[in-house]
Amino acid sequence: MSERANLSQREVQIAQAYAGGQTYQAIANSLCIAPSTVRTHLATIYRKLDVSSKVELATRLKGAASAPRNAAELAMVVSELALSLEEAISREKAMSEVLRIISAARGDLKAVMQEILAYALDLCDAEFGVMFEYGTTHKFHATFALGIPPDFEAWFDTQGWFAVSPDTGLGRMDAQREIVNIFDVKSEDIYLSEDPLRIATADLGGARSFVAIPMLAADKLVGAFVLYRQTVRPFSDDATRLAQMFAAQSVIALENARMIKAMQGAVS
């Protein structure tokens, strides 16, 4: 019997695409599902076919038998699949919650951002967070914050729209349009140079580790989503991926709120 008989029609589609070299995102786009759903299906496919790699998957789909594995290898595969499935489920739950927050707020951007920040801080185990807007003059503005120390918040209030040094986390993120994950803000040379933003971050905010994630609308930078920890505890890849998802949803929240305000203005 063909190995495909053990798989559903959707699992066969995903298995063939993945074994053929397509990425999670490409498969998701072609099937109109989320990338995390693709990963969940692949975890099930690997378990059903008793494989642990793309090469083994391609071999089994062709009807050939995989090389036998010992008990230790099987245990490792099972553990990896369990972790992958748990991660995919967590991402799905987080995405659903953020979309619920955006929908329930009905264009109230402040309410949306407060809830998104609260959820992000909880899931990513951070002490406080700030959503920065990015202006046409290449300046930033700390528009929304949660849990931020009062002295640090007061400092941002006095700055209004402010320019940043290219060596700061925001400056590097602006130039690279990529995530900047700083292990310890006090260990970098820019802190010793007494850069105003870095000094305020470390001394007024008490921050030690933080991750800055660009908020992009197409290729245009519209802001930054930043999470801070007040101890030297670098953000893991998993936490960074979660924060990146929140940054993407924040862009949706911003655009959604602006659209609703525009519609309300037109009606009035």
pLDDT tens for the chain, 268 residues long, are: 355 567 888 889 999 998 888 887 788 888 888 776 887 888 888 888 877 777 788 888 887 665 555 555 555 555 555 545 555 545 555 556 666 655 655 656 677 778 778 878 887 889 999 999 998 888 999 999 999 999 999 999 999 999 999 999 999 999 998 889 999 999 999 999 999 999 999 999 999 999 998 988 877 888 898 999 999 998 887 788 777 877 777 777 677 666 666 666 665 5
Q: Compute the distance between CA of residue 243 and CA of residue 125 in angstroms, rounded to an integer.
A: 11
Question: Residue 183's CB: how many other CB atoms inside 10 A?
Answer: 13
Cα–Cα nearest to 5, from 66, 48, 57, 67: 48
- At 71, list the tokens: 């008990």
- At 166, list the tokens: 């290219």
DSSP helix/strand/coil, 240? helix
pTM: 0.61
DSSP helix/strand/coil, 76? helix
Q: Where do we find the tokens 């999470």?
A: 227
CA 38 to chain centre: 17
Residue ranges of domains in the chain, CATH in brackets:
3-90 (1.10.10.10), 106-267 (3.30.450.40)
Cα–Cα nearest to 104, from 116, 94, 92, 93: 116
